[in-house]
Amino acid sequence: MLNKKMLMSSLSAIALTLVTNVSLALTPAEQKGLDISTESKKRDLGWQDSTADMLMLLRNKQGQESIREIKIKSLEVDNDGDKSLTIFNKPRDVKGTAFLSFSHPVEADDQWLFLPALKRVKRISSRNKSGPFMGSEFAFEDLSSFEVEKYRYKYLADEEVNGLMTFKVEQFPIDENSGYTRRIAWLDKQEYRIQKVEFYDRKNSLLKTLNFSQYKQYLNKYWRADVQNMVNHQSGKSTELQWSNYQFKTGLKESDFNRNSLKRVR
């Protein structure tokens, strides 16, 4: 019943986007870019909720490493962006810090931070999309959930990446607070999984490249990469994300994503 409702609502959402875009008279390349992105999102709907552990390895030019250990709980929300709870375990001085986010496709996200030393919950500005997450090469916007409405699209070409045939699609952020003029994403034709993304800064020069590897399929449907490697070409630094313990449909509810749970969560 729930699945049916979700399918209906996602279908209507897709229909709506299509209708809106038709009225804007997209070029064939733009239409194809949008269709690919819509299909990619559609294939990842219905996971309901998930939990996962993330290890972040920050490397500077000299090869020195520092690590971040993070747990992420997410809840899929119909007709809106996901809700997520991010819990920090390492570095140890920020252990117990937690971050609650209600993301929205177009509007600004609602975000709260829990500071364990003061036991203080602070509502924070979500304007800082382009800023680095925990000093890493990932910006906040690189880690937020993918929503079709966040970009305009243009299909560029078919190319081979990581030994797979892919669609090469250019993505232009709608939000003026984005740190990028555009991104170029490569999605494999077989499963519509993102294989690689290039990020172009506000001056439109190549800033970063993100590579996805070791994809695994969960519940016979949802693909997640175990490793994401971001290289910053301008600073020479890089950050590798290593994901583990992915679990879906664990029974998380709305009540696991409020200020009380933010204060309690570990």
Write the DSSP symbol of residue 149: G
Query: Binding of another protein at residue 249 (CB under 8 A)?
Result: no
Residue 244 CB burial class (10 angstroms; 0-12, 13-18, ≥19): exposed
Shortest distance, CB of residue 190 to another protein, whole angstroms? 37
Q: Out of 8, 16, 124, 219, point to the residue binding another protein (CB under 8 A).
A: 124
- Site track 204-223 with another protein (rule: CB under 8 A), x = hit: --------------------
The answer to whether 4 contacts another protein (rule: CB under 8 A) is no
The pairs formed by 62-67 with CB atoms below 8 angstroms and a separation of 24 or more are: 66/91, 67/91
Could you give the angle at the alpha carbon of 35 between the alpha carbons of 30 and 36, nearest 5°? 100
Of 51 and 162, nearer to another protein (C-beta) is 51
Out of 61, 120, 189, 216, the residue judged to bind another protein by CB under 8 A: 120
> Would you count residue 95 as binding another protein (CB under 8 A)?
yes
How remote is the C-alpha of 106 from its chain's centroid?
A: 14
| Binding of another protein by 118 (CB under 8 A) | yes
Consecutive H or E run containing 32: helix 28-42
Rounded-to-integer distance, Cα 232 and Cα 121, Å: 33
User: What is the rounded (10 degree) CA torsion for 102, 245, 183, 21?
Assistant: -50
Nearer to another protein, 4 or 266 (CB): 266
Nearest approach, Cβ of 244 to another protein (angstroms)? Answer: 17
Minimal distance in Å, beta carbon 150 to another protein? 18
23: contact with another protein by CB under 8 A: no
97 is written with which tokens? 């810090």
Q: Which residues bind another protein (CB under 8 A)?
A: 58, 60, 66-67, 90-95, 108, 110, 118-125, 127-128, 130-132, 134-136, 179, 253, 255, 258-261, 264-266
